[in-house]
Amino acid sequence: MGQVLPLVTRQGDRIAIVSGLRTPFARQGTAFHGIPAVDLGKMVVGELLARSEIPAEVIEQLVFGQVVQMPEAPNIAREIVLGTGMNVHTDAYSVSRACATSFQAVANVAESLMAGTIRAGIAGGADSSSVLPIGVSKKLARVLVDVNKARTMSQRLKLFSRLRLRDLMPVPPAVAEYSTGLRMGDTAEQMAKTYGITREQQDALAHRSHQRAAQAWSDGKLKEEVMTAFIPPYKQPLVEDNNIRGNSSLADYAKLRPAFDRKHGTVTAANSTPLTDGAAAVILMTESRAKELGLVPLGYLRSYAFTAIDVWQDMLLGPAWSTPLALERAGLTMSDLTLIDMHEAFAAQTLANIQLLGSERFAREVLGRAHATGEVDDSKFNVLGGSIAYGHPFAATGARMITQTLHELRRRGGGFGLVTACAAGGLGAAMVLEAE
Chain centre distance of CA 384: 16
List pLDDT tens digits, range 235-249: 889 999 999 998 989
pTM recorded for the entire structure: 0.94
Nearest CA among 237, 238, 239, 245 for reference residue 213: 245
Q: Is 428 in contact with 349 (CB distance < 8 Å)?
A: no
Q: Is 99 a residue of the active site?
A: yes
Split at pLDDT 50, 70, 90, the class of 160 is: confident
Residue 174 pLDDT greater than 80, yes or no: no
Q: Is 371 a residue of the active site?
A: no
Residue 101 pLDDT greater than 70, yes or no: yes
Return the CA Rg of the chain: 22
Residue 310 pLDDT greater than 60, yes or no: yes
Nearest CA among 326, 283, 417, 387 for reference residue 7: 326
Distances (CA, A) of 221 to 77, 237, 305, 383, 399: 29, 20, 28, 12, 17
Q: What is 332-347 written as a DSSP string?
A: --GGG-SEEEE--SBH
Residue 129 pLDDT greater than 70, yes or no: yes
CA distance 163 to 143: 8
Packing angle, helices 318-330 and 347-357, rounded to 10:
50
Q: Is 254 in contact with 213 (CB distance < 8 Å)?
A: no
Residue 175 pLDDT greater than 80, yes or no: no
The H or E element spanning position 213 is: helix 199-218
Which position among 207, 343, 392, 407 bears the catalytic label? 392
Q: Is 125 in contact with 102 (CB distance < 8 Å)?
A: yes
Residue 135 pLDDT greater than 90, yes or no: no
Q: What is the mean pLDDT of the chain?
A: 96
Nearest CA among 120, 124, 113 for reference residue 7: 113
Q: Is 184 in contact with 260 (CB distance < 8 Å)?
A: no
Split at pLDDT 50, 70, 90, the class of 232 is: confident
Nearest CA among 308, 297, 275 for reference residue 434: 297
List pLDDT tens digits, range 9-25: 999 999 999 999 999 99
What letter does residue 316 receive in the DSSP assignment? T
Q: CA-CA-CA-CA torsion for 234, 240, 244, 246, nearest 10 degrees?
A: -120
Q: Is 209 in contact with 383 (CB distance < 8 Å)?
A: no
Residue 1 pLDDT greater than 60, yes or no: no
CA angle 227, 230, 236 (to 5 degrees): 115
Which position among 99, 210, 343, 407 bears the catalytic label? 99
Which position among 207, 210, 407, 422 bears the catalytic label? 422
The type of residue at 34 is G
Expressed in angstroms, the distance from the first to the final Cα of the chain is 24
Q: Which domains does the chain have, with CATH numbers?
A: 15-131+275-435 (3.40.47.10)
Quick one: what percent of the chain has pLDDT higher than 90?
A: 88
